[in-house]
Amino acid sequence: MDERELEAALEACEREPVHIPGAIQPHGALVAMDERLQEVRQVSANLESLLGVSPEDALVMTPEQLFTRRWFNQIHTQLDSPNRYGALIMSLRIRGRAQRFSLLPYRSGSRVVAELEPISGYPERWLFGAMADWQKDLSGYTTRDGLLRALTALVRELAGYDRVMIYRFDEDWNGSVVAESLAEGADSYLGHHFPASDIPEQVRRLYSIKRVRDIPDATAQSVPLVPASAPVDDSPLDLSRGILRAVAPIHVSYLANMGVVASMSIALHLNRRLWGLLACHGKSPNILSPALRDALRAMVQTACFQLELIQAREEAALIQRANDSREMLVDQRGEFSDWGEIVARHGTAWLKVFHAGGLVLLAGDRVATVGNVPGADSIAAIVDWLGKHHSGELAWSSRELGRTGLAEFCEPVRAAGLLAVPLPIRSPRDAWLLFFRPEKSETRIWAGNPDKAIDRQSGRLSPRQSFESWKETVRGKSALWLPVERRAATDLASDLAVLIAAGEISRLNQRLERLATSDHLTGLWNRYRMEEAIDHEISVAERYGRPCALAMFDIDHFKHFNDTWGHEAGDEVLAEVARTVSTQLRDTDHVGRWGGEEFMVLATNTAPEGAAHLAERLRAAIAALEIRDYGRVTASFGLAVHQAGEQRRELVKRADLALYAAKEGGRNRVEVSND
């Protein structure tokens, strides 16, 4: 296949207008109206079989005549309600008999769409019990694998599919099956990978608009809209928010080649990003009731909340390991006459925390190393490359150095991944903390050969004919650098910068002196200076019996600001929160940046009740912030009041545990340590 042909075919695939197919699936009907609900503009060709009204007659009726005044008013109300994309259960008299429908109204550009699905029998009241049991059982799943296995088994039991699997996306949007539940005789795809082009970008976007994609029968003939486009402006009807949208021909072929007739997918969003899909496959048609489909979506959503909690716990464990090392480092800062000793004493522990093979701490012409790292000339070349290709004070990482200009310098030590964090000091000019990871060779099992074929007549991609296991060995990549690892390494680099600056204080100018006590971004005291202040206040408390308290707070969902608007937006949020908190304190209180999005407030001569009022006032001040169009900013607080005989580490730990409890309790709240 010519590379240009493949590129053109991939582009054509990503431009496929899957959201405007001009048709629906036949298990329901559609009515499109003008935005003021005065005219019927388009209907599905099967309208008469479901509503007893021909398309021709419906197009000359008003929506109120078609649906009756009662349901017309319900549709109008539903469109303007906060839950405007929910479905209505309505009853219409069709040919003298009452027929119940699930009606989903939604806005589509300048039109309003009503999708109808017939309902037979009574609502599945047993679903309430199943959902309650699932909600109760959720807290018992403390691992990702255990939770996902339970979810696939529950969905298959309730919905009757032959195969239910969890399909997780990687950083390149390739998918892999990480959990599965099978009926007897169904083929397994557990551990198999699927290329990103199987679910192209425009399809992934649809899962952020409508979380469920239901295809009860991929072999059924789709039903066209009448007329095919809007009679006013000839525009196609966007069905992104609907459930009945017809299946694209390439996807029909894909499912047929896979031996799948019925398919349903539910999006799993973690931290507002598409993390994966719950995919259901059946060898025969499977029309789910709207109530069951909605219940399954709700169960998946609650599972996502638990997944976020599991992920947060895993990240907290890594941060704790890193913080333990940082605390020892700060506690021992007076023992080092040279910062090379720091690497010698702690470097091996840092390699374990960051799952790295080698570490380099570099400041100007001085270099300290531990583990398997490139030679001195190669390190100098790496730093020179970073200086030219990476600006700013944020961490840079790559898991595939073969795609960068650094491969030749890292190849002798077989390093495939690099995490590079600039130390926030201005002199010496080149100061970096570098972690190197070795290659992690991986044998991937693909569900069919992932190489794409082109239909020569259309010039478009052709779905693969076979999904038999196809093995590929992936080389030249390290393990992925996780965001939490980047954050922890950045915090460590800040501590090292302070220690380096403190060790050479006699030769530093006034700017470096400020660095030793201030955070470079917010202008607040840094952790080193805050620890000094806490130690002093504890000494005063022990000597004179004067009370004091610590309030540790953390900006909620801070990663969302970086992921959505970029790191500059995250920096702006940090700076604005710092300014707001500073204006709320007394002259005798102190606030500092503890690390990342964590801050510490030291309230002097403050009893428990006053400390609690202070923390609540700070929380409310942050919640009232409006920063550009970034959305709401909130913070969670952990409060600890000093107890007799308690030293800094114990006091800080209690504040940290209270902060963790505040996040576990729902965030945007104050939790007081009672230990």
Considering the domain 518-675 in this protein, what is its CATH number? 3.30.70.270
* Res 567: pLDDT: 84
Pick from 270, 288, 266, 286: which is nearest to 278 by CA? 266
* Res 506: pLDDT: 39
* Res 232: pLDDT: 85
Q: Give 458-524 as a 3 state SS string.
A: CCEEECCCCCCEEEEEECCCCCCCCHHHHHHHHHHHHHHHHHHHHHCHHHCCHHHHHHCCECCCCCC
Homologous superfamily of 332-441+476-516? PHY domain (3.30.450.270)
Encode 244-274: b = buried (16+ Cβ within 10 Å), e = exposed. Answer: bbbbbebbbbbbeebebbbbbbbbbbeeeeb
Q: Return phi, psi of residue 642, to 5°.
A: -60, 135
pLDDT at 9 over 60: no
* Res 122: pLDDT: 61
Q: What distance in Å separates the CA atoms of residue 164 and residue 584, rounded to the nearest whole number?
A: 53
Pick from 582, 647, 565, 657: which is nearest to 618 by CA? 582
Q: What distance in Å separates the CA atoms of residue 616 and residue 551, rounded to the nearest whole number?
A: 10
Comparison of pLDDT for 327 and 403, the residue scoring more: 403
In the predicted model, what is the mean pLDDT of residues 422-436?
A: 80
Encode 415-433: b = buried (16+ Cβ within 10 Å), e = exposed. Answer: bbbbbbbbbbbeeeeebbb
- For 256-292, write each residue's pLDDT tens digit: 888 999 999 999 999 889 999 999 999 999 999 998 9
How high does pLDDT run on average in the chain? 86
* Res 7: pLDDT: 47
pLDDT at 197 over 50: yes
Question: Which of 34-48, 143-157, 290-304, 491-505 is predicted least confidently?
Answer: 491-505
Element (H, E) at 41: strand 40-44
pTM exceeds 0.85, yes or no: no
- For 608-656, write each residue's pLDDT tens digit: 999 999 999 999 999 999 888 888 899 999 999 999 999 999 999 999 9
**Token pair in block for residue 443:** 């044998």
Which residue has 């050479």 as its token pair?
A: 504
In the predicted model, what is the mean pLDDT of residues 439-444?
A: 78
- For 558-597, write each residue's pLDDT tens digit: 988 888 888 888 999 999 999 999 999 998 999 999 988 9
* Res 392: pLDDT: 67
Q: Where are the domains of the chain?
A: 7-20+122-223+234-311, 21-119, 332-441+476-516, 518-675
pLDDT at 598 over 90: yes
| Structure confidence at residue 300 as a pLDDT band (50, 70, 90) | very high
* Res 387: pLDDT: 84
Q: Give 440-477 as a 3 state SS string.
A: CCEEEEEECCCCCEEECCCCEEECCCCCCEEEEEECCC
pLDDT at 512 over 50: no
Homologous superfamily of 21-119? PAS domain (3.30.450.20)
Q: What distance in Å separates the CA atoms of residue 510 and residue 498, rounded to the nearest whole number?
A: 14
Question: Which of 306-310, 444-448, 660-664 is predicted least confidently?
Answer: 444-448
- Which positions are catalytic? 597
Comparison of pLDDT for 20 and 449, the residue scoring more: 20
Q: What distance in Å separates the CA atoms of residue 333 and residue 386, rounded to the nearest whole number?
A: 29
Q: Do the two domains 332-441+476-516 and 518-675 of this chain adopt the same fold?
A: no
| Structure confidence at residue 510 as a pLDDT band (50, 70, 90) | very low
pLDDT at 136 over 80: yes
Question: Which of 139-153, 192-206, 315-329, 360-374 is predicted least confidently?
Answer: 315-329
Q: Is 595 helix (H, G, I), strand (E, B) or coil?
A: strand
- For 33-66, write each residue's pLDDT tens digit: 999 999 999 999 999 999 999 999 999 999 999 9
- For 360-403, write each residue's pLDDT tens digit: 998 888 899 999 999 999 999 999 998 888 766 788 999 998 88
Query: What is the DSSP pairing of strand 192-194 with strand 442-447?
Result: parallel
Pick from 448, 453, 447: which is nearest to 9 by CA? 453
> How far is CA 509 from its chain centroid?
43
Residue 285, preceding peptide bond in cis (omega within 30° of 0): no
Tell me which DSSP letter residue 394 carries: S
Considering the domain 7-20+122-223+234-311 in this protein, what is its CATH number? 3.30.450.40
Q: What distance in Å separates the CA atoms of residue 210 and residue 390, rounded to the nearest whole number?
A: 38
- For 96-113, write each residue's pLDDT tens digit: 788 888 999 999 999 999
Q: What distance in Å separates the CA atoms of residue 263 and residue 218, rounded to the nearest whole number?
A: 8
Element (H, E) at 591: strand 590-595
* Res 459: pLDDT: 47
Comparison of pLDDT for 635 and 3, the residue scoring more: 635
